[in-house]
Amino acid sequence: MRIGRILLALLAIVVIGTAGFVAWAWEPPVALVDTPDPSSIDHERVQRGADLAAMGNCAVCHTTEAGKPYAGGRKLPTPFGTVYATNITPDPDTGIGRWSKGAFARAMREGVGRAGEHLYPAFPYDHFTRLSDDDVDDLYAFLMTRDPVRAQPPANDVMFPLNIRMTMAGWKLLFFRKGAQPADSNHDQAWNRGRYQADGIAHCGACHTPRNALGAEKKNRYLAGGSAEGWHAPALNAESPAPVPWTAKTLLAYLRAGFEPLHGAAAGPMAPVTHGLARVPEQDVQAIARYIASFSEQASPERRHEATKLIGRLNRHARESVGSASLAGTDQTGAVLFAGACASCHAETPQRRGGGINLALSTAVNAPDARNAIRVVLDGIHPEQGRSGPMMPGFAGAFTDQQVAALLGYMRARFSTQPAWNDLPDRVRRVRAGKDQS
Amino acid sequence: MTVTFTVNDRQHQIDTDPSTPLLYVLRDDLALNGAKFGCGLGQCGSCTVVVDGQAVYSCLLPVAALEGRRVTTVEGLGTTANPGPLQRAFMDEQAAQCGYCIAGMMMRAHALLQQHASPSDEQIRSALEPHLCRCGTHMRILRAVRRAAQGMRSAAAPANKDGTP
Amino acid sequence: MTALPRPGDPSRRALVAGGGALVVSFSLRAFAQETQNAGAEPQSPPLPGSLQKSPMLDAWIRIDADGSITVFTGKAELGQGIKTALLQIAAEQLSVDLSAITLVTADTNRTPDEGYTAGSHSMQDSGTAILHAVAQAREILMATAAQQLGVPAERLKAAGGAVLTADGRKIAYGELVAGDVLHVRSQPESRLKETSGHTVMGKAVPRVDIPAKVTGGVAYVQDLRMPGMVHARVVRPPGYSARLQDLDATTVERMPGVIKVVRDGSFVAVIAQREYPAVQAMRALADGATWTENPESMPDQKDVFSHLLDLPSQDTAILDRGQPASGEKTVEADYRRAYQMHGSIGPSCAIAQMENETLTVWTHAQGVYPLRKALAEMLKMPAEHIRCIHTEGSGCYGHNGADDVAADAALIARALPGRPVRVQWMREDEHAWEPYGPAMIARAKAALDRDGSIVDWEYHVWSNTHSTRPGAAGNLLPALHLAAPFTHPPPRPLPQPEGGGDRNAIPLYRLPNARVVHHFIPMMPLRVSALRGLGAYTNIFSLESFMDELAAAAGADPVEFRLRHLDDPRARDVIQAAAERFGWRRGERPAKGRGRGFAFARYKNLAAYAAIAMEVEIERESGRVRILRAVAATDSGEAVNPDGIRNQIEGGIIQSASWTLYEAVTFDRARITSRDWASYPILRFSAVPREIEVHIIDRPGEPFLGTGEAAQGPAAAAIANAIADATGKRLRELPLTADRVKRAIGV
């Protein structure tokens, strides 16, 4: 029968195709090795590895809140399901203690685990692939000298068919470019060094670049804004919503201290990034800052002009609304709430009593996406235990969704020239309910 | 502007600048001493009261936000003649030195115990993290909260036939 | 040299048994008086405690015809439980319930002048005075009853507020007081109740102030409400050097509810009918103020220690014993401590009312009499026209903003006579303007002989003054900002044996050859004064860290090394008790990442003894130190309120843990930058130890020893020693932050 033969032929194609794909996608396991003796490892490599790990923020993903450092277990929600970070302590059974340098390097550069399994790009090997041999060796040295912890992370819960790891090979085929980036001859060595750090170990684009439907970074929208753990990661390029465009100097200060007077405090997932960068040699952070700033410095002359006017107004202690929306006739709830709850710290005077910035400078208030402003108001900002740093109480218990919406609506009108946010009450409700997670 | 809300089961109509933080209304208009001024910045917890079951900083909560809501302060937990279980526990443990932070601690504990009848030590510590105590009464405060939880559990449990709890 | 009381001195027990005419000294001041007057005409033996200064019995106790009993103390409740302890003493000696006594605390119109409630003197001074005054009052009542009943006094008994005979006759106390029967001078000796018969002293009596505090009663000066009371706030300068250049108060004066703006030189305040409008007006007024400031008036924080060492100092050898000797091994170390703040949870508050040329101030200042004197000088008023009434505030831990805010209130009250004016400091006011515990430097050097005993000891400590308390108007903050400003009086060191920066600089250990020098630095780059423990915190931290360093050099166990050098049996007892209860065994190694540390001190070498053993855990990646367990043994003499002692030691350990692990005041070249809890973090629940145990060695019959400041120094050293044990690295600069620990342990 003709149909029968066509079907048979199709089946043959699928089977041969699948077999071909599997043959191509299959990665061999790397043999287990004995756990290296920590005292045999070069101390300088370990030190440099520590700096790299701080820049790469490894501990943040690979540790649970209550868990031991690097022992994994942290829940990472993705649009495709939940992935749990692995144990990267040198434990021989539940960690990477019996991984060879080669196995480690393959994981970092190719996204393949020791047993040959393809790794989910929640682990940003599409960035780590750029690391030099030296840097990978340094990280290996650092991780192999951590305290081993016996801890098995929970099993991942990823949607079919992506829960078959081999499908990642397909993803990689479409979106993953292995290996180092060649230097850009249009820029100097310092800039290229910054790009190496930022695009490599620091993987800034993993949050700050938008992703496509299959979860890959859109190469042509580099640093145009993305998201992480329910927070909006603002654009860092010319589209940056920051009222005052970032410069290398201000960005350096912000990345080191988690705060900058013309921009405010690092919140959400950015706060731990700054905690890590505070502990890294300043010149590395400087390189990153200079590189990223080269994109934000592409802000339009119009934006710069607005920024200069804004700073001038703030310096003159002028108190008229920055925002274009008229406040007359609007529901005064937001204004009243602001006066009673926010003004103690965010007073619009030079005194900066409680350490809060004038919100006309706030990226969150000026961003197209209201998510960050909502989250900051609900959750607050909390410094590292025992360290001084930006601190803001959360108002989740104090205010209803309507009240938060009124407050944010007022802030947007008062402190921003951007159009009003739509649908704030619903947005607040969703954020509070833990939706909008990706 | 008049705002109507309940404090310790009594309804009040407060006519004042609507941006006035609840703390000043409690202390100055209603003569309630429990909630205290410690920082006015939401950093120390001394002003903590419970609003609709949530522990909040009264120093940063404008009364305008309180229309129709229910506020509980330490005065609402009992009196010296008739102390509630938390108050009794704090007295039994002598959980105070200068005592300035204690009312706030108790309100946070009250909100916790309304949600978790048997909180672990970790849960109690975590719940009280927003609260500062400079005298170093922490150990007793933890013991008092544990004791209160225990007391509230046995009070809730049905009595035995012979009358023992 | 003043003789220190030694164990074995005749105790009160002997007195109770009726043993002869013994002269027993209960306070060092009495001893000092004695020695000073040696060679002068013979004078009466010293009276116990504060009776020496206020000898009349009725200054301390009054019984009315209706039987109501009032006891007076010049000391103040700071949250340390002194009211309860004093009530216990009085109730015991008078054989009544605590509830039968009204205790009046520090009030310049009503109570004796006992100076400051500070230095852990309250039990030693006031407790002792009340003990004897009340006992003597009871004896007078008994004698009066004996006369009236025709029965010998020895056959009478006091109970339930009355004197009873064996055959059931009784006369109530109220019927025994006639005229000025208690207006007599106290005696040096008293017939005290047998300690074995104590029903209230030495028992865990619940504190009388706690019920109000947990039920929202009026408990603090912040809770006082008076008819016609108004609210004021002060606009403080942005920094020490700032002076008001211009003030635009026009908008503020027109704000609804604003009564008045007060300006005197750089002192700026606003008064409003209600509290929140006062806060809003203050903010608006601050916006209208322009200041001139010296942008480099403060040292660079990075160089503060070398800056202090470069300042001129007055150097005094407070110990010079034996001859310098050399040994087998010499060990040297330098220690440092940053400026640290009191950080009272409730910022300071006061109410003042000027009426008919009389000023009344409700204040939580530690010394109402010295405050009155300073206010009199500042306002150019006679002191008799000023009344200072102590009302409890939040814990002050020394000289905080309490006196300053009282001065603020007084100045503002003068500008609005007739109304009670309530001034509440804001958080930033307290953080930026309170006088801090001074930064200090210590240098220790010692030689060990072949047997591992210390044969030579040299210790230097550099410090600013630890007391700029009023007495003088120039020590009140607003007085410095007036148009006709007062100036800081030149600071003077507090003499030994109490000391200031040199408090506890002389170790209790047996040191055959020892020299201790106090380098007193008068110039103060930051405002400083007494912070709980004064120099003892730094000196004990340094000495006890150093003892561990010496023990290590001698190859000795730290506990055994200390015992090797201690003769004082009570000191040995607390050390052995703490070590045993902790489970301290020679050579025992805790688990990886953990360490144990030990420290001991006798506060001021004359107050309570405390030994503390600690186990800590170091978080390797962050350097964070977690105290797992602290075990303390303490000897406070006769323990009047054991629970109070326990509370003070537990609290002292945790407070010290916060200072030791986190705290340093920060500043730039012009201003203090520690302005709130975000910029000056302190210990929170997540860092509280898992367990603290306090073991009290009770010494019935022994003099009361002040305990409020006994734990801080040993706790700091125990932490440092435990960190050294855990990491093999010795940290010598306070605070021992996670960053410093991490830097020491490396990657």
Min mean pLDDT across A296-305, B17-26, C13-22, C407-416 is at: C13-22
CA atoms within 13 A on the CB side of C516: 19
Query: How far is C429 from chain A, CA to nearest CA, in Å?
Result: 11
CA end-to-end distance (rounded Å), chain C: 53
Domain-ending residue, one of A147, A175, A203: A175
- Using alpha carbons only, give the angle C502, C506, C508 rounded to the nearest 5 degrees: 140
Judge if A169 and A196 occupy the same domain: no
Judge if A160 and A229 occupy the same domain: no
Domain that includes residue A103, residue range: 24-175
* Residue type (1 letter), C269: A
Domains and CATH numbers, chain C: 12-193 (3.30.365.10), 221-293+345-433 (3.30.365.10), 440-466+501-745 (3.30.365.10)
- Using alpha carbons only, give the angle A152, A156, A159 rounded to the nearest 5 degrees: 170
Record: contact C738-A386, CB cut-off 8 A: yes
Q: Which residues are C441's β-sheet partners?
A: C336, C462
Judge if A42 and A131 occupy the same domain: yes
Task: Check residues A392 and C2 and name the one with the higher pLDDT.
Answer: A392
**Would the CA dihedral through C255, C259, C265, C267 be positive or negative?**
negative
Cβ atoms within 10 Å, residue A391 = 22
Judge if A55 and A163 occupy the same domain: yes
Report the pLDDT value the prediction gives residue B160, as an integer from 0 to 100.
58
Q: How does DSSP assign C537-589, residue by residue?
A: HHHHHHHHHHHHHHHHHTT--HHHHHHHT---HHHHHHHHHHHHHHT--TT--
Nearest to B41 among C80, C206, C427 (CB): C427
Judge if A118 and A68 occupy the same domain: yes
Record: contact B64-A336, CB cut-off 8 A: yes
pLDDT tops 90 at residue A298: no
Could you give the angle at which helices A2-25 and A167-175 cross, rounded to 10 degrees? 80
**Spatial CA neighbour of A91 closest among A137, A136, A144, A39:** A144
Distance of alpha carbon C427 from alpha carbon C674, whole angstroms:
11
Record: contact A341-B63, CB cut-off 8 A: no
Q: What is the CATH number of the domain that holds A149?
A: 1.10.760
What are the pLDDT digits (tens) for C373-410? 999 999 999 999 999 999 999 999 999 999 999 999 99
Task: Check residues B164 and C278 and name the one with the higher pLDDT.
Answer: C278
Judge if A46 and A153 occupy the same domain: yes
Record: contact B140-C647, CB cut-off 8 A: yes
Instruction: Please count the structural domains in chain A.
Output: 3
Question: C7: pLDDT confidence band, cut at 50, 70 and 90?
Answer: very low
Judge if A115 and A207 occupy the same domain: no
Min mean pLDDT across A5-19, B63-77, C349-363 is at: A5-19
Record: contact C684-B34, CB cut-off 8 A: no
Record: contact A349-C624, CB cut-off 8 A: no
Tokens of C434: 């309170």
Nearest to A386 among C661, C676, C679 (CB): C661
Question: What average pLDDT does the segment A317-336 reach?
Answer: 65
Judge if A421 and A395 occupy the same domain: yes
Record: contact C676-A388, CB cut-off 8 A: no
Question: What average pLDDT does the segment A278-301 reach?
Answer: 93
Q: What is the CATH number of the domain that holds A333?
A: 1.10.760.10
Give the three-class secondary structure for C454: strand
Q: Domain B2-156: which topology?
A: Ubiquitin-like (UB roll) (3.10.20)
pLDDT tops 80 at residue A318: no
Q: How does DSSP assign C347-394, residue by residue?
A: --EEEEEEETTEEEEEE--S-HHHHHHHHHHHHT--GGGEEEEE---S
Judge if A329 and A400 occupy the same domain: yes
pLDDT tops 80 at residue A319: no
Asked if residues C46 and C85 have their Cβ atoms less than 8 Å apart, the reply is no
Tokens of C211: 């019920």
Q: Where are the domains of chain B?
A: 2-156
Q: What is this model's ipTM? A: 0.94
Query: How far is A283 from chain B, CA to nearest CA, in Å?
Result: 34
Question: A328: pLDDT confidence band, cut at 50, 70 and 90?
Answer: low
- DSSP strand pairing (C454-463 vs C514-520): parallel
pLDDT tops 70 at residue A353: no
- Using alpha carbons only, give the angle B97, B98, B101 rounded to the nearest 5 degrees: 100
Distance of alpha carbon B108 from alpha carbon B91, whole angstroms:
17
pLDDT tops 70 at residue A367: yes
Give the three-class secondary structure for A413: helix
Q: Which residues are C358's β-sheet partners?
A: C355
Asked if residues A286 and A246 have their Cβ atoms less than 8 Å apart, the reply is no
**Spatial CA neighbour of C136 closest among C170, C102, C98, C185:** C185
Report the pLDDT value the prediction gives residue C32, as an integer from 0 to 100.
36
**Spatial CA neighbour of C106 closest among C94, C97, C118, C98:** C118
Record: contact A397-B43, CB cut-off 8 A: no
Distance of alpha carbon C587 from alpha carbon C597, whole angstroms:
12
Question: C206: pLDDT confidence band, cut at 50, 70 and 90?
Answer: very high
Model's pTM, two decimal places?
Answer: 0.93
Question: What average pLDDT does the segment A320-338 reach?
Answer: 69
Nearest to A390 among C666, C678, C680 (CB): C678
Min mean pLDDT across A2-11, A70-79, C11-20, C529-538 is at: C11-20
Asked if residues C476 and C448 have their Cβ atoms less than 8 Å apart, the reply is no
Distance of alpha carbon A269 from alpha carbon A372, whole angstroms:
11
**Would the CA dihedral through A392, A393, A394, A398 be positive or negative?**
negative
pLDDT tops 60 at residue A327: no
Asked if residues A259 and A271 have their Cβ atoms less than 8 Å apart, the reply is no
What's the mean per-residue pLDDT of chain A?
92
Give the three-class secondary structure for C31: helix
Distance of alpha carbon C172 from alpha carbon C177, whole angstroms:
9
User: Is A127 a member of any domain?
Assistant: yes
C79 contact residues in B (CB cutoff 8 A): 96-100, 135
Cβ atoms within 10 Å, residue C1 = 7
Residues 6+ apart with CB under 8 A from A202: A55, A56, A57, A288
**Looking at residue C685, what DSSP letter applies?**
G
Question: A330: pLDDT confidence band, cut at 50, 70 and 90?
Answer: low
Judge if A50 and A163 occupy the same domain: yes
Query: How far is C343 from chain B, CA to nearest CA, in Å?
Result: 7
A333 contact residues in B (CB cutoff 8 A): 64
Give percent of chain B above pLDDT 90: 91
Judge if A158 and A193 occupy the same domain: no
Q: Does C394 touch chain B (CB under 8 A)?
A: yes
